[in-house]
Chains A and B, each alone.
Chain A
Amino acid sequence: MNAISVSAPLIALDKVAKTYPGPAADFHALADIDLDIQRGDFVAVVGASGSGKSTLLNLLGGIDRASSGRIVINGRDLGSASERELTAWRGRNVGIVFQFFQLLPTLTALENVMLPMDFARLGSSRERKQRAQLLLERLQIADQADKLPSSLSGGQQQRVAVARALANDPPILLADEPTGNLDSRTADSLLDGLTELVRDGLTLVMVTHEPRAMARASRAVSLADGRIVQPERNHA
């Protein structure tokens, strides 16, 4: 795995910066970021609030664009892609788990999971449903499939969010503090599931404050004031 990753990083960031214009002065959310992530890595991105973690995740997911520098993921230069191309690429290549789950409130758990497949037009309607059920079973939440998010607990909602992120079978999963709103038992259970997915070849980039999550990561990237502040630590 290492041999492959050394020769061809799945995610490569080269002098990436992100600046937000402000009324008084520009705000530099990220500056000079050089980062390579290999296929199958579980990278924990850590740092204080406002250090640029979520911005980094948004750039990796093609949700936001870098102000300068280059981001190449799986051979695709995100800077050169149009908004439409980025959307299509994201649908196929990246799964995103949001901090506050962000399940669509008027859709059931099952429908939330089917939604990315619907947008990407993957398979038939029946196949989408079957896959969504499969993912919910895998995340041990199949019994809640027909419930609306409002009637699910935080942990259940986060599992549905993970299932939704995996719906299109993306090679990369980006997770923004997925355990931040969960109790320790639920968080452990979720991390178990994610770790298993990484073992199956998924590349996971997770923003987290949780030591238990960092402990499971193969690498940790620490950010402060928009810069990587300490050497990356390898666990694996």
Chain B
Amino acid sequence: MLSPRWRKMLRDASQHKSRTALVVVALVVGLIGAGALLASWALVRQVTAQTFIASRPVSATLRVERVDDALLASLRQMPQVAAVRARRVVYAGLDANGRRTRVQLFALSDWQARDIGQLRPERGSWPPQDGEIVLEPSSLEFAGAQFGQSVQVTIDQGASVTLPVSGITRDVSLAPGWMDHIATAFVTPATLARLGAPADFNEIQFVVRDTTLDRDAVRRIADEVRARIEQEGGRVTNIVVPVPGEHVHAAQMDSLSLTQGAFALMTLAVCALLVVNLVAGMLASQTREIGVMKALGASARQIGTLYAGFALALGLASSLVALPLAIAIARPYAAMKLEMLNFPIGGAAVPWWVLLLLLAAGCVLPVAAAAIPVVRACRLRAADALRDSGIVADGGHLRRRFVLPGISRPLQLSIGNAFRKPQRMLLTVLALAAGGAVYLGADSLRSGVRASVTQLFAGSRYDVSLHLSDGAEAARAERAALTVPGVIAAQALVSATGTVLHKDGLDGERFALVGLPPSSPLLAPLIQQGRGVAAGDGQVLVVSRSLLKDEPALVLGADVELRVSDRLSRWRVIGVVDVGPQPLAYVPAAALNAARGSELASILLLTLGTGDVAVQRETILRTRAVLATAGIAVGRSELVSEARRVFEDHLLMVVQFLGVMGWAMIAIGAIGLASTMSLGVLERTREIGVMRALGATDRAIASLVQFEGLVVAGLAWMVSLLLSLPIGQLLADAFGRVMFTVPMQPLPPARAALSWGLLLVLVSAIACSWPARRAVRLPAARVLAYE
């Protein structure tokens, strides 16, 4: 049987059921947001661990001149090495259903290996047979191919070979095809030979025995492997050591999860403010009752337990509603994140500890939030509590009212009312302002991203880029292109792949080198630091920020040794550009030609006479045909407008999520305002009665409440503008870590600030409509008798 004090608590809650329900709704919203994020994060981690780690990811890849069985056997003898395999990677063009994409073809020495870079066949046959191709699932849609159909694969100028798609096999160590804009497929060495590529292997991959080793330790082992290869008469030209146990996009995903987690905590903090307001309001209205209970022998602990129990019940009820919804949202969201990592979510379930943690958080949060007002109430001495005159209008802190000229008396009264409970008003303002700050911060970030993308593409004064598969003499390619109707400018550029030679003698990661003529009308990169390529320059580099991130030695003024087409040459860094996430360097075309020993251009930039994408596509097709007639093979072609859209969409996807978080926080803030206003109406019941007795109309009473809400909303607007600055910067920093540096405006855009202000007016009107209605419905006789 429930004791009288607990029955009292239940009935008190049911007496204020609307306000209690509002807080439960706010808690539910907050817990759904935080829960979905936590559960999706846990799911991603779980699947990553189960799928990626279990696939025994490759510890290092060494490019070698030749690989034979004896060399592989020798490497397998090394105690630090657990497994070894050989492979060849060949880049080709893939045509399927009218779409042409770039594809990386993998040929492996051991298709069934389970101890190194394990592949997961998902459909069809495995391993690939001669004359067949097996596609990576994320490449299927990207390439426009279908299982069971045939695709045409072309390497450089070679003949197109038709290969049936005989299977679908996943490689979880790769980024999805749509993300890296390249398809992945598996073929046998014999198929490579049929395509005109070398059939022997030219890369060695191994897995270290000790999987706890860090990247430096693996690098040392890779160096030992290199020494063994050289001992056996081979030559290593490149070594790539990824971060052990970490997916290629894991850092970005963690950073994204961390940022989202921070906002989930912020949402919960806003919920906590509402609980503080609810419990504080409840305690304020029950001060005398607390005094009576104390006079009857209730200890501080008993009273504290009573109200903490109420908060706990709120949390428990909210958790029970929020948990299933959070889990339901978490799975598709985790699947989306996993798709970005190229993992299938499969049958993975949210771990039980997440459920327990969410339940605990849901229960503890309101109790913790209620702790301060509850402890304060418990410490109140019985005499002081009994002296309390019940629900008071001014909380004993009614300040001298300032008379504002030109403002009507009801509005002045509303302004005064808003400040009657400064602490409660502050919490309400903060709750609303936090949502607004995230809303404004996300808007600033969105503008920043768009501005950044515009800046990134500002130097691209062309409409389309064509990749010349085998290279071509620049002037000839340009002349041929200019014969095509619709092409108004053409420029051919030379490019190559380079690596930085590190002090330890090892090569770094590969990056693109683009040769620029002294003046390039179609490509003018925006220099961030130093200067750009100029006439008379020798072996100088203008590096992208992403390359600088990968190779910190490439600072302005540094002299570095590069390996370009297997030739070593010395270069000086003269400038830094921002070109997005792509690691590349601009160099003088003449210097690049000298370094690589070729003058053939591999990129052809075109400016077209129309902005119509359909017409642009037709022009590309015509240009391809003209170039083919001239004996110039064209691989990939890319519209700048399309590249920009895809790039912007990827970036804005993260911003959209933050916007959703902002909306959730605004909803919680609105609930907070509604709760505060209803409490205000309850506290001023007698005052409302007096005004009614003095002839106040329904409209006047409702206006008082609505005006008061607007005063709070106005304050929240101002605070949110201030808060949006650090929040916007925080978002920009987080975004910079995940994607690339985004310039933030010092103040939110006026348009965003204004739209947020209007939104706040709407939010306030909706939030205050219910308390205003209550105030209007109070009969004068009853409210005057109210104590």
Enumerate chain A interface residues (CB-CB to B < 8 A): 58, 61, 63-65, 83-84, 87-88, 90-92, 96, 98, 102, 104, 106-107, 111-112, 114-116, 118-120, 125-126, 164, 168
Contact = CB atoms under 8 A, between A and B. Distances in A.
Given A63-B382, A107-B4, A125-B1, A115 B296 contact: yes
A132 B7 CA distance: 16
A133 to B, nearest CB: 13
A118 B4 contact: yes
B11 A96 contact: no
A118 B3 contact: yes
Name which of A61, A90, A92, A106 has the most chain B CB atoms within 10 A of its CB.
A106
Contacts of A65: 383
Contact of B293 (A114, A119, A168): A119
Contacts of B212: none
Interface of B: 1, 3-5, 7-8, 11-12, 15, 288-289, 292-300, 302, 381-383, 386
Given A84-B300, A107-B8, 8 more contacts: A58-B383, A83-B300, A92-B297, A115-B296, A116-B297, A119-B5, A119-B296, A120-B297
9 contacts: A87-B298, A88-B297, A88-B299, A92-B297, A106-B7, A111-B4, A111-B7, A115-B296, A119-B297
A118 B5 contact: yes
Contacts of B296: 91, 96, 115-116, 119, 164
Contacts, number: 80
Contacts of A91: 296-298
B383 A114 contact: no
A106 B713 CA distance: 35
Contacts of B11: 106-107
Contacts of A106: 7-8, 11-12, 15
Contacts of B302: 119
Given A87-B300, A115-B4, A116-B297, A102 B292 contact: yes
Name which of A91, A92, A119, A120 has the most chain B CB atoms within 10 A of its CB.
A119
A53 to B, nearest CB: 14
A5 to B, nearest CB: 26
Nearest to A61: B295
B712 to A, nearest CB: 30
A-B CB proximity, top 4 nearest: A91-B297, A106-B11, A64-B383, A111-B4
Name which of B1, B288, B381, B383 has the most chain A CB atoms within 10 A of its CB.
B383
Contacts of B298: 87, 91, 119
Contacts of A126: 1
A83 B382 CA distance: 9
Name which of B295, B296, B382 has the most chain A CB atoms within 10 A of its CB.
B296
Contact of B297 (A58, A87, A98, A107): A87
Given A88-B299, A118-B3, A64 B381 contact: yes
Given A90-B297, A119-B296, A125 B8 contact: no
B707 to A, nearest CB: 32
Contacts of B8: 104, 106-107, 111, 115
Nearest to A120: B297
Contacts of A107: 4, 7-8, 11
Contacts of A112: 4
Given A107-B11, A115-B4, A96 B295 contact: yes
Contacts of B7: 106-107, 111
A106 B292 CA distance: 14
Nearest to B379: A83
A125 B8 CA distance: 16
Contact of A83 (B3, B289, B381): B381
A88 B295 CA distance: 10
Contacts of B381: 63-64, 83
Contact of A115 (B288, B293, B299, B386): B293
A143 to B, nearest CB: 19
B383 A63 contact: yes
B300 to A, nearest CB: 7
Name which of A83, A87, A92, A116 has the most chain B CB atoms within 10 A of its CB.
A87
Contacts of B382: 63-64, 87
Nearest to A83: B381
B299 A125 contact: no
B4 A87 contact: no
A125 B295 contact: no
A90 B1 CA distance: 26
A115 B5 CA distance: 7
Contacts of B1: 125-126
B19 to A, nearest CB: 15
Nearest to A55: B383
Contacts of B294: 63, 87
A159 to B, nearest CB: 16
A125 B3 contact: yes
B505 to A, nearest CB: 76
B316 to A, nearest CB: 21
A84 B386 contact: no
A90 B295 CA distance: 7
B289 A104 contact: yes
A162 to B, nearest CB: 13
